[in-house]
Every structure is written in C-alpha cells, then in structure tokens.
C-alpha cells in the first residue's frame, strides 16, 4: 500500500512537471517575451539589459526551475491582453467556475442517482424506457446545443431566466458568490443544468448497470429468500454495494465538469476561468493559457490521486489482491 501510494504520487509529479514543461515552452519560446513587455522605442541595449535582468539568458534548466518555483507559489506573470497579473485574473474568475461546477455536480448526482436506481429496479417499465431513450439523446446532444436550446426557450421565448453572466454577486473577502442574491441564483439555473445534463446521464447509466449487476448476485437472492422487504433488499443491500464505483466515477467526473465548464461558460458568457481561457486562446495571451494549463492539470492530478487512494481505502478486496500479488 505505501509503495503503491508512493508510485502513484511520483507519477502525479511527473505529469505535473510535463505539463509545466509545455506551459514553460509556450511561455518562453512562442514569441519574444521581451517584445511583449516593452514598447517599440526601447533600444537594443535596453532590451539586452532587461533580458539579462529577467534571467532570460540563463541555462534552460535554471529558467525552468525558476518557472516551476514561481508557478508553485501561484505566480504566473502578467497577462499580455489584460495588462494585469494572471494571479489576480484567476482569483477573480475561480469562484464563478467553482460555484457553477459544484452546483452542477450536486444536481447530476441528486437527480442521476435516483433515476439510475429506478431504471434498474423497473427495468421493463414505461418510464424506465423513457429515461433510457432520453439519456441516449442526452449523450448525443452536444453541451453547447443544450445551452442554446435552454436559452431559446427560457430566455428568449418565455423570458423567465437571464441568459448571460452571473447576476449580482456578493463579495466575501476575495471570494465572490452568486448564492446570496435572487438574480445570482436565477442566473445559475440554466448554466448548471446545461453542465449537469451529460454527467447526469452518465451517473444514471452507471448506477443502473451496477445495480443490475448486483441484483443478479446470490446474496440478493438469498436476502429475498429470507423474506426481507424489497425496499430493504434494494437499498440496504444492493445500492450499498454499487456505491464504490459510483463514488470513484463521480469523483473523477468532478474534473470533467470543471473542463466542460469551458463550453458552458462560453455559451452563457459566465465570467469563469473557462471563458478566460477561450479568450486567451483567441488573443494568444500565453501567460493566461499557461496558467490555465497548469491549474486544470493540477485539479485533475489531485482528484485522480485522491480517488485512487480512496479506492484502496474503501475496497478491502483491492488491498488483499495487492498484498498477495506482492507476496508472490
């Protein structure tokens, strides 16, 4: 177990360093960093001096080391486009993305899980078939199209909900939240549904498949034979045993939600990190791109690591397998 954890941890660090290398490569070699800092009337001598002062003449490995050190304390330099520190920009945008992702994840789980259980228990029912067909359409509908359709119906035709932005936000220290105002909550509805729909279908299908698998096993038949009420068998015996894969997949999906937020934010002009990144690509604003690259990779690596560790903690069979495998 500790050996596995250590290997897993080292692997995460290698991934992070690779991503950092790509980000650094972008930073350093796409365009001339000096050109992006100074005006046209700066003389060649001044440029050389600046180059020397900023350490751009140092060996590659020294520069890369400095980059990694800066990045690990959250220092990503200045945005070319906004002329402000990237750290400030990200800190401004982070709450928007995280709030949206959190609401979507909860929505996906709280709606998707009961639907999955229901479709597994009433396999051939009319409603179940309806859910399954809907979920197939849900998977085939691209995220941005769901957003557009929602905007068309609830924003343009019915005029019930705002179609862009976060509404009014309340500042709590450096964190801004839309949870505390009516317009903030209303603005959240459509983006969070858009973002949640795909994950919802995924969770529903996963739980359905896992439930069907468990319901076939002997201990469920035995529980029925013991005369336990169906409700108890379904929820205390069956559902409990589907939870391990569901928890891990849901954990992993959290990363996907943050990634898919790029699309949703773009549709709804939601002022989060994804929108910042898309605009940065359009403007070739490399410090912002590099920062996003590193941040998103960090989120993913961290989530994956936690989920892997949880897997070992939650499922004793894995520990046993590993132990015997190591013993041989």
Partner 1 sequence: MAEIQPAGSNRVGDRLRRAIESDIWFSFTRSPVTMLSAAVTAIAFLAALFAPWIAPHDPFDLASIDLLDASLPPAWMTDGDPRFLLGTDDQGRDVFSTIMFGARISLVVGFASVLFSLVLGVGLGLVSGYAGGRLDAFIMRVADVQLSFPAILIALLIDGVARSVLPRDHHDELAFYVLVFAIGVSGWVQYARTVRGSTLVEKNKEYVQAARVIGIRRSTILLRHILPNVTGPVLVIATIHLAVAIITEATLSFLGVGVPPTTPSLGTLIRVGNDFLFSGDWWITIFPGLALVVLVLAVNLLGDWLRDALNPKLR
Give residues in contact with partner 1 (CB under 8 A). Answer: 11, 15, 22, 26, 30, 136-137, 139-145, 148-149, 151-152, 156, 163, 252, 255-256, 259-260, 262-263, 266-267, 277-278, 280-282, 284, 286, 289, 293, 296, 300, 304
Nearer CB in complex with partner 1: 107/290? 290
Nearer CB in complex with partner 1: 144/312? 144
What's the min distance (Å) between Cβ of 270 and partner 1? 13
What's the min distance (Å) between Cβ of 144 and partner 1? 5
Spell out where the chain has E strands: 170-172, 175-177
What's the min distance (Å) between Cβ of 172 and partner 1? 30
Cα–Cα nearest to 304, from 235, 248, 265? 248
Nearer CB in complex with partner 1: 109/296? 296
> Is 36 in contact with 26 (CB distance < 8 Å)?
no
Nearer CB in complex with partner 1: 107/258? 258
Query: Pseudo-torsion of CA 172, 174, 178, 179, nearest 10°?
Result: -40
> 10 Å Cβ neighbour count for 122?
13
> 10 Å Cβ neighbour count for 94?
17
Structure tokens at 313: 């903690």
> Is 111 in contact with 202 (CB distance < 8 Å)?
no
What's the min distance (Å) between Cβ of 256 and partner 1? 5
What sign does the CA torsion over 42, 48, 49, 53 have?
Answer: positive
Nearer CB in complex with partner 1: 238/288? 288
What's the min distance (Å) between Cβ of 76 and partner 1? 15
Nearer CB in complex with partner 1: 25/229? 25
Nearer CB in complex with partner 1: 23/113? 23
What's the min distance (Å) between Cβ of 143 and partner 1? 7
Residue 153, SS3 per DSSP: helix
Nearer CB in complex with partner 1: 30/230? 30
Main-chain dihedrals φ then ψ at residue 60, nearest 5 degrees: -55, -45
Residue 171, SS3 per DSSP: strand
What's the min distance (Å) between Cβ of 184 and partner 1? 22
What's the min distance (Å) between Cβ of 236 and partner 1? 31
> 10 Å Cβ neighbour count for 82?
17
Query: Pseudo-torsion of CA 34, 36, 41, 47, nearest 10°?
Result: 0
């Amino acid at each position: 177990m500790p050996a596995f954890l250590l290997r897993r941890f080292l692997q995460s660090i290698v991934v992070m360093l690779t991503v950092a290398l790509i980000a650094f490569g972008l930073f350093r070699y796409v365009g001339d960093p000096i050109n992006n800092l100074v005006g046209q009337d700066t003389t060649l001598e001044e440029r050389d001096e600046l180059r020397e002062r900023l350490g751009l003449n140092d060996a590659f490995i020294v520069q890369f080391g400095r980059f990694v050190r800066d990045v690990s304390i959250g220092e990503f330099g200045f945005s070319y486009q906004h002329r402000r520190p990237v750290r400030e920009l990200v800190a401004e945008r982070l709450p928007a993305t995280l709030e949206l992702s959190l609401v979507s994840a909860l929505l996906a789980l709280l709606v998707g899980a009961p639907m999955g259980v229901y479709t597994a228990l009433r396999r051939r029912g009319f409603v179940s078939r309806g859910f399954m067909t809907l979920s197939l359409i849900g998977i085939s509908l691209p995220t941005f199209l769901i957003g557009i359709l929602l905007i068309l119906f609830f924003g343009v035709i019915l005029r019930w909900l705002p179609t862009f932005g976060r509404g009014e936000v309340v500042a709590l220290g450096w964190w801004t939240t839309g949870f505390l105002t009516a317009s903030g909550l209303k603005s959240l509805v459509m983006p969070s549904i858009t973002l949640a729909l795909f994950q919802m279908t995924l969770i529903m299908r996963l739980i359905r498949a896992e439930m069907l698998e468990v319901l076939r096993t002997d201990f469920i038949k035995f529980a029925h034979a013991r005369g336990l009420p169906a409700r108890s068998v379904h929820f205390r015996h069956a559902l409990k045993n589907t939870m391990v894969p569901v928890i891990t997949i849901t954990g992993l999906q959290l990363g996907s939600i943050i990634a898919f937020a790029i699309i949703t934010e773009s549709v709804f002009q939601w002022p989060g990190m994804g929108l910042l990144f898309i605009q940065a690509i359009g403007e070739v604003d490399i410090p912002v791109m590099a920062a996003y690259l590193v941040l998103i990779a960090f989120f993913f690596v961290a989530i994956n690591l936690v989920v892997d560790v949880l897997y070992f903690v939650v499922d004793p069979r894995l520990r046993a397998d590993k132990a015997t495998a190591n013993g041989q």
